[in-house]
């Protein structure tokens, strides 16, 4: 241990010392949720004292040692187990038995990005990455209906699912709203979503919006011969109303697979996300993250990263979450943040900023468990679907200022096409209107798949040429 570290350890009072173990033998032994914070002390405490106070307040402790502690309560103490003094980083191990049993994301976040974000002892505290042990993955739902199920329904493979958000964001009547859906679908688009504030506004009553969308979808499916999907915002003032909205959609005659439920996960909350996941396991759960910027923007010293938000969305069971346009669109975000977040939720194994997260529910090293299951699968095939093996994938949903001209630049940064893109202005601002906007998007995707530059391809695709003309190529 370096002399600086030794000095820091010796500066701890007895309470703080109970929340530090820089020699923790095996943090990834399965007993802990691991977290890494960017932390700068904000008061008179040094970095290790402040880190210990954070570990205390975000697990079992408070600002003084209390007489009511027990030997068992002390085993639930979170532990500072690693420091990086150059980069102001602190690693904390949380005994996962601290958390509500049966899988509760809201409860975890109340600990690790709860009170501690408000503590005087820190000037900066940002949760940059988390690591879940297989023992925790077992307890959490993870995604039910995935983008692979949506692809099967749409018969769309090996390209992004092409979507839009109806614009103007608000103010259309239900009939006008449905007309825009129809136009996008007959223009060749796959997927339409409500915008994040869509609810039961008097000029667009929820039930009427649902009914009109159904008509528009039936018409578009008939005319195009292609399946279509609509993502309905079911966020609501209370859970009963949320479920009522879901039931309106379920009972409106939509084919299973043709609708998704959108939740404003930050403002409606994690309970809403997990309720929908558990009530409707066979419906695509679309996590919109309006408000996340308060926690994730890089210039904000307090909060959590886009990667952390995305990982918790997968754990909670979101089928897809907005992960940002990696600086290509209108929102703040960098390739490092947005693409790492996207990859972090798509794959079975993903490298985060600090942790390599396997989403397998069985440790690879557990060879006998794995071989037993393979044996079983050989003879009994009782495990048709593979969720026993790992938490299913969560799909990056990419919007924020994208347009047909920016599709390829985004794909180049993303490195794959396994995502849903939803372009609002990028479609509805097209000089030829929504149908042409959809056509331009389809043509831009065709050009990408054929490896043809869009300028070349636009020579005999008018709508794409107009999009190139209209949307700046910054
Ligand atoms: C996009 C959008 C999305 C945000 C979400 C909007 O519209 O509908 O909600 O982009 O951002 O309301 O702005 P445009 P993110 O396509 O017209 O920009 O995906 O980063 O969470
Ligand atoms: Mg308290
Ligand atoms: Mg029309
Ligand atoms: Mg929106």
Q: Which domains does the chain have, with CATH numbers?
A: 3-137 (3.30.70.150), 147-347+393-470 (3.20.20.110)
322 flagged as catalytic: no
Which residue among the candidates 167, 227, 361, 392 is catalytic per the annotation? Answer: 167
Let me know if 167 is a catalytic residue. yes
Question: How far does residue 348's CA lie from ligand 4's centre (Å)?
Answer: 29
pLDDT band at 377 (very low <50, low <70, confident <90, very high): low
Q: How confident is the model at residue 134 (pLDDT cuts 50, 70, 90)?
A: confident
pTM of the model: 0.95
Give mean pLDDT, residues 62-77: 95
Q: Assess whether the C-beta atom of 286 lies below 6 angstroms from ligand 1.
A: no
Give the atom of ligand 1 at the shortest distance from the alpha carbon of 195: 8
Q: Please tell me the distance from the alpha carbon of residue 92 to that of residue 79, in angstroms, as a whole number.
A: 5
Which atom belonging to ligand 1 lies closest to the Cα atom of 399? 19
H or E stretch covering 56:
helix 47-57
- Look at ligand 1, atom 5, and give the residue with the nearest C-alpha: 400
Say how far apart CA 99 and CA 59 lie, in whole Å.
10
Range name among 33-37, 62-66, 72-76 with the lowest pLDDT average: 62-66
Mean pLDDT over residues 148-156, rounded?
97
Ligand closest to the CA atom of residue 322: 1
Q: How far is the CA of 169 from the centre of ligand 4 (A)?
A: 7
pLDDT reported for residue 331:
84
Angle at 290 between CA 253 and CA 213, to 5 degrees: 20
For residue range 168-196, list pLDDT tens digits in order: 999 999 999 999 999 999 999 999 999 99
Distance, CA 423 to ligand 1 centroid (Å)? Answer: 8
Q: CB of 374 closer than 6 A to ligand 1?
A: no
Three-state SS at 348: coil
d(CA 53, CA 61): 8
> What pLDDT, on a 0 to 100 scale, did the predictor assign at position 327?
84
Q: What's the pLDDT score for residue 432?
A: 98
CA separation (Å) from 293 to 324, 331, 467?
A: 11, 9, 29
């Amino acid at each position: 241990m370096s002399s600086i570290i030794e000095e820091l350890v010796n500066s701890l009072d007895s309470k703080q010392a109970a929340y530090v173990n820089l020699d923790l033998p095996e943090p990834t032994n399965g007993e802990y949720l691991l977290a890494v914070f960017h932390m700068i002390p904000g008061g008179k405490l040094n970095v290790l004292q402040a880190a210990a106070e954070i570990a205390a307040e975000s697990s079992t402790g408070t600002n003084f040692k209390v007489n009511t502690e027990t030997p068992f309560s002390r085993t639930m103490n979170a532990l500072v187990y690693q420091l990086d003094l150059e980069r102001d980083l602190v690693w904390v191990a949380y005994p996962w038995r601290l958390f509500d049993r049966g899988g509760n994301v809201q409860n975890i976040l109340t600990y690790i990005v709860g009170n501690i974000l408000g503590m005087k002892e820190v000037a900066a505290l940002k949760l940059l990455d988390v690591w879940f042990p297989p023992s925790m993955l077992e307890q959490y739902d993870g995604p039910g209906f995935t983008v692979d199920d949506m692809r099967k329904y749409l018969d769309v493979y090996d390209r992004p699912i092409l979507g839009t958000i109806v614009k103007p964001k608000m103010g259309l009547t239900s009939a006008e709203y449905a007309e825009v859906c129809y136009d996008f679908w007959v223009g060749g688009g796959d997927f339409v979503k409500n915008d994040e504030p869509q609810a039961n506004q008097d000029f667009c009553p929820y039930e009427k919006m649902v009914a009109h969308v159904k008509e528009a979808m039936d018409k578009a499916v008939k005319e195009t011969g292609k399946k279509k999907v609509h993502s309905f915002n079911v966020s609501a003032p209370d859970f009963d109303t949320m479920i009522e909205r879901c039931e309106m959609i379920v009972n409106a005659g939509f084919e299973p697979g043709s609708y998704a439920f959108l939740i404003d996960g930050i403002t409606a909350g994690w309970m809403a996300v997990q309720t929908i996941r558990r009530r409707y396991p066979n419906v695509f759960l679309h996590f919109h993250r309006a408000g996340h910027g308060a926690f994730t923007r890089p210039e904000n010293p307090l909060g959590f990263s886009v990667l952390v938000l995305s990982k918790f969305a997968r754990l909670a069971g979101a089928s897809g979450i907005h992960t940002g346009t990696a600086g290509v669109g209108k929102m703040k975000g960098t390739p490092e943040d947005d693409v790492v977040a996207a990859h972090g939720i798509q794959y079975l194994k993903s490298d985060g900023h600090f942790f390599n997260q396997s989403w397998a529910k069985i440790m690879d090293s557990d060879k006998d468990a794995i071989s037993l299951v393979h044996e079983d699968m050989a003879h009994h095939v009782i495990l048709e679907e593979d969720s026993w093996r790992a938490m299913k994938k969560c799909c990056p949903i990419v919007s924020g200022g994208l347009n047909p001209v920016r599709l390829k630049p985004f794909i180049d940064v993303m490195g794959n096409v396994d995502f849903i893109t939803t372009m609002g202005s990028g479609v509805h601002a097209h000089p030829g209107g929504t149908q042409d906007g959809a056509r331009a998007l389809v043509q831009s995707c065709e050009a990408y798949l054929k490896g043809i530059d869009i300028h070349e391809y636009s020579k005999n695709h008018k709508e794409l040429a107009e999009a190139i003309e209209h949307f700046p190529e910054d």
